[in-house]
Homo-oligomer: A and B are copies of this chain.
């Protein structure tokens, strides 16, 4: 039976429609015709040897001269770190100077690599870099929110194949984040609990939407997932922003994230996807009412006029079935040197 479900964290309603639903394997991407990608490309700005094409490296993890992960300024930044925050209010016209940060994290030396096929230590390197950049950038008093995200594939909004992710630090709190925080505070006032802690604990007990679970993390499809295979990865330990992650947790998250992305890669044939790490606004240090988490959105469905007109979603996949499907996908253990060529 079709039903509406409400996500208690985001308060968003979704229509889950098994009648029009697809079986999980109907979301498997068709094999593309393109040849496999090469390990490097002469004109790729993120490839080894082309470092001079990218500007202002702010951080790297390296073995002597050989970088493993690099952080560079975005060539076409949405926000820059020059100048002050200048807020203008002229009646209904409200603006703010575009100050902030927009960095690119080049995740790997190989052009045709992807997180799903990396070694765990390689994924851990990327997460360490995220944490380092978060810690440095949050100290800038112009910054209000830090969003770390990855766009994988064209449908996910990227044109550069070489594995990379991005960090954007905004000089305002985005409205959606502000709204969710208000709701989380309200939940905290009503119950004395963090709404994320409660959700996670109940999902662990319910079991049926869990994909993988480790000592410190759980990956699950939310009860009211907005789209097919929409996944949340939560840390068990309450912490309100990503920079609070410990070394042990990074190691564990690397394992968990790699397994989840590998299940998508092998189970759905390398779908385009976005992931994003959500934290509280930077001024809310150690908030009790909200929990950082990582959200993954495979781009296997499209939004249309209904979503635009209501902010509500229709999900044609049953979260319980999608989770069961992913639980069953076997993930080979990547060995260094055994690169599986990626299709674009």
Residues on B with C-beta less than 8 A from A91 are 198, 202
Residues on B with C-beta less than 8 A from A13 are 96, 170, 172, 174-175
Residues on B with C-beta less than 8 A from A171 are 4
Is there contact, CB below 8 Å, between A275 and B305? Answer: yes
Q: Please tell me how many copies of the chain the complex holds.
A: 2
Tell me the bound Cα distance from A145 to B311 in angstroms.
12
Residues on B with C-beta less than 8 A from A149 are 304-306, 308-309
Asked if A6 CB lies within 8 Å of chain B CBs, one says yes
Asked if A94 CB lies within 8 Å of chain B CBs, one says yes
Is there contact, CB below 8 Å, between B155 and A277? Answer: no
Asked if A2 CB lies within 8 Å of chain B CBs, one says yes
Asked if A295 CB lies within 8 Å of chain B CBs, one says yes
Asked if A119 CB lies within 8 Å of chain B CBs, one says no
Tell me the bound Cα distance from A61 to B160 in angstroms.
50
Interface residues on chain A, size class: 35 or more
A273: min CB distance to chain B, Å: 9
Asked if A179 CB lies within 8 Å of chain B CBs, one says yes
Is there contact, CB below 8 Å, between A311 and B17? Answer: no
- Interface digits, A48-82 against B, CB 8 Å rule (1 contact, 0 not)? 00000000000000000000000000001111100
Most B-side CB within 10 Å, residue of A6, A156, A223: A6
A13: min CB distance to chain B, Å: 6
Residues on B with C-beta less than 8 A from A195 are 92
A85: min CB distance to chain B, Å: 10
Q: Which of B174, B202, B278, B302 contacts A155 (CB 8 A)?
A: B302
Asked if A216 CB lies within 8 Å of chain B CBs, one says no
Contact (A297, B302) CB under 8 Å given A15-B98, A199-B92: no
A-B contact pairs, 9 of them (CB 8 A): A2-B78, A2-B98, A78-B314, A147-B310, A149-B304, A156-B305, A174-B312, A175-B311, A276-B308
Interface, chain A (partner B; CB < 8 A): 1-6, 8, 10-13, 15-17, 19-20, 76-80, 91-98, 145, 147-151, 155-158, 165-166, 168, 170-172, 174-177, 179, 195, 198-199, 202, 223, 274-278, 295, 297, 302-306, 308-312, 314
